[in-house]
Structure 1
Amino acid sequence: MAAPVRTLCCSVLRLSSRQFSTTCGARAGEKWRKEHGLARSGSEYGPLTDLPDWSFADGTPAPPMKGQLRRKQEREVLARRIVMLNSEVDRGMEAWSDKQEEAKRLEEHKKSLLLKPKGKLLRKKI
């Protein structure tokens, strides 16, 4: 029974002038979400993914799920990396400014070692 139905569907599709789209439906609205500052999909972050699905009757929250723990750990790793890279940039900027000040101080020291005008040349410059 399945074979005749399949051949029938295939023959109808070949005769049809319409084309089937095989794109993924999960990407729907991705451009709109990005334009409005939201995640690419509705399941990346936000209250639907970050908050627990249920709580106990007395009001205590549910234990975190594996996905929530994984996302929390990923965020902590990312935050640590950001802090580390930021401190590296700060140290680099300090080293660069120290180098610039040292170069400036060395240049002034070289200028102070140059010969000074004497006699008539000294009076002329005043």
Structure 2
Amino acid sequence: MAAPIRTLCCSVLKNSNKYFSTTCGVRAGEKWRQEHGLSRSGTEYGPLTDLPDWSYADGRPAPPMKGQLRRKQEREVLARRIVMLNTEMDRGIETWKKKQEEAKRIEEHKKSLLLKPKGNLLVKKS
């Protein structure tokens, strides 16, 4: 049953003048938005996305929608990750500086243990 339908669809598509597009659509205005410091599309963030669509007649705000709660949670997770990575970088830099100071101190200690000039060589240097 499926074979005749498939051949029928293929023959119809071959004879038609219109073709299916298999490329992704171009986001209109994406370059302009990014040049002006806005989001890539109008639905990523901003007042149209983040603010509620309605409120009660007495002025109370509407409860947040699922998408708003999800975006808020994603931002919190991202902020926590940024803080964690920042503290890791700070700790890494401090550890690296301590290792550099320790290596310098060890090098100076090794130089102090080297043989020192004696006798006539000591007199000539002074």
Q: CA deviation at 1:59?
A: 2.4
SS in 1 for 2:56: coil
Look up the match of 1:102.
102
Q: Which moved more, 1:46-55 or 1:57-66?
A: 57-66
Determine the C-alpha separation between the residues in 2 that align with 1:60 and 1:122.
Answer: 90
SS for the counterpart of 1:121 is: helix
Q: TM-score, normalised by structure 2?
A: 0.77
Q: Does 1:76 align with 2:70?
A: no
Where 2:110 maps in the other structure, the secondary structure is: helix
Q: CA deviation at 1:23?
A: 5.9
Measured on the aligned residues, the alpha-carbon RMSD in Å equals: 2.3
Report the equivalent of 1:24. 25
Aligned residue identity for 2:97: S
**Percent identical across equivalent pairs?**
79
TM-score normalised by L of structure 1? 0.77
Amino acid at match of 1:24: G
Structure 2: how far apart are the matches of 1:104 and 1:83? 32
Structure 1 unaligned segments of length 5 or more: list them.
1-6
1:6-37 Cα shifts (integer Å, max 9, x gaps): x9xx87x47xxxx9977636x11011111212
Structure-2 separation of matches of 1:58 and 1:115: 90
